[in-house]
């Protein structure tokens, strides 16, 4: 029997279901909990890769991640996170080990059509560390001072993979010069109707309509709210967890603190 436990203002845990055999009515309940909670974990799953893809497709269209080097060798729709983190000479590849740990962000902001959701399935979990933090774009908007809300209303940001720091080591050379895309910084969620702040501190380049100095200063002011964003949920992984978050209204980051010699491996899909 399905049980749902709220983890706080955001985040929910679902137990007592097998995602391979969900009927439409049960999936509809899970989907609504996801909309209400920004991020959900379905515990204790045992999935083959095709099971995982079928369940993921119930949320939307799967699109391969632009990092071709980390795609699953047998299934390019799936990214293999945490594998091959040691180079041939035995040194740690920090781009793989620390992936997603550079600060709170939203996935796919560099795409013309951003990712609706990201879903991870936990294959191997370290003995300590390796948590993922989530926060709410709704709460971030609510926390902004009025002068900043007014400045951002109706404005677009430009975004690019790697951002100003060009952290694009996981991309192939031919994929590193894609043109920036633009997205509204204040948005209304298409399904919940709630207002949110759409922001990615690692990928935003400029704010349109502001000169370079004011754009940089405004981005810096926004970043200050992401050092410790409001309304957080910290997910402590277990093997068999399936976690999906709504990229339209939430931010996340990896802790990047687990023992490097231990495995932390997930299947990941990007959903539009």
Distance CA 39, CA 13 (A): 9
Q: Which residue has the tokens 């294959």?
A: 123
- pLDDT for the residue 163: 61
The answer for residues whose C-beta is within 8 angstroms of residue 26's C-beta and 6 or more apart is 2, 17
Above pLDDT 90, what percent of the chain? 79
Distance CA 56, CA 237 (A): 19
Structural domains of the chain in order of their starting residue, each with its CATH number: 3-271 (3.60.130.10)
- pLDDT for the residue 172: 46
CA atoms within 13 A on the CB side of 105: 24
Contact 100, 93 (CB under 8 A): no
What average pLDDT does the chain have? Answer: 92
Q: What is the CA radius of gyration of the chain?
A: 18
Instruction: Supply the pTM of this predicted model.
Output: 0.93
Contact 249, 138 (CB under 8 A): yes
């Amino acid at each position: 029997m399905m049980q749902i436990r709220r983890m706080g203002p955001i985040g929910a845990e679902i137990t007592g279901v097998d995602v391979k055999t969900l009927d439409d009515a049960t999936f509809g309940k899970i989907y609504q909990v996801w909309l209400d909670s920004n991020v959900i974990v379905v515990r204790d799953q045992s999935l083959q890769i095709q099971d995982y893809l079928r369940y993921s497709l119930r949320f939307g269209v799967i699109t391969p991640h632009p990092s071709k080097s980390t795609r699953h060798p047998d299934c390019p729709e799936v990214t293999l996170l945490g594998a091959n983190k040691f180079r041939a000479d035995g040194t740690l590849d920090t781009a793989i080990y620390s992936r997603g740990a550079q600060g709170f962000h939203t996935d796919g902001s560099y795409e013309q059509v951003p990712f609706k959701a990201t879903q991870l399935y936990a294959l191997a979990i370290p003995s300590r560390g390796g948590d993922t933090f989530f926060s709410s774009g709704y709460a971030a908007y609510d926390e902004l001072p009025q002068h900043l809300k007014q400045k951002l209303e109706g404005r677009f940001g430009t975004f690019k993979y790697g951002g100003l720091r060009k952290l694009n080591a996981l991309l192939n050379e031919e994929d590193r010069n894609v043109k920036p895309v633009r997205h509204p910084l204040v948005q209304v969620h298409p399904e919940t109707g709630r207002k949110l702040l759409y922001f990615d501190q690692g990928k935003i380049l400029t704010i349109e309509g502001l000169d370079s100095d004011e754009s940089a200063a405004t981005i810096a002011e926004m970043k200050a709210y992401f050092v410790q964003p409001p309304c957080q949920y910290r997910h402590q992984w277990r093997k068999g967890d399936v976690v999906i978050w709504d990229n339209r209204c939430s931010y996340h980051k990896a802790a990047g603190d687990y023992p490097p010699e231990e495995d932390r491996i997930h299947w990941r899909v990007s959903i539009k």
